Amino acid sequence: MEGADTEARSRAYWRANVRTVLFCLAIWFVASYGAGILLVEPLNAIQIGGFPLGFWFAQQGSILVFLVLIAFYAWRMNRLDREYDVHEP
């Protein structure tokens, strides 16, 4: 019976991990491809520091979003590890 419980917890942990990865990939896609390529013309109507917003997303914004996503993923995975008791001692 314990083996079935452990397997169910492992599956739940894996589902939570995959949800986190898919969430991060969706945000990254929207920031880099969506804002930097697909929506560049409407975003270029907005200026930040003298630069069009679409240009800013293509050059720097997607990189900054990626760095924030790395920090979020590390934080979220540490939290999931503790929640499912698979964290490092």
Given this model, what pLDDT does residue 78 score?
95
Q: What is the CA radius of gyration of the chain?
A: 19
Q: Is the pLDDT at 89 greater than 90, yes or no?
A: no
Q: Which residue has the higher pLDDT, 24 or 87?
A: 24
- Across the range 11-24, mean pLDDT stands at 96
Contact 48, 54 (CB under 8 A): no
C-alpha closest to that of 62 among 84, 23, 81, 34:
34
Token pair listed for 32:
């880099």
Note the pTM of the prediction, 2 decimals.
0.81
**Every domain of the chain and the residues it spans:** 1-84
Strands annotated E in the chain: 47-48, 51-52
pLDDT tens digits for 26-84?
A: 999 999 889 888 999 999 999 988 889 988 888 888 899 999 999 999 999 999 999 99
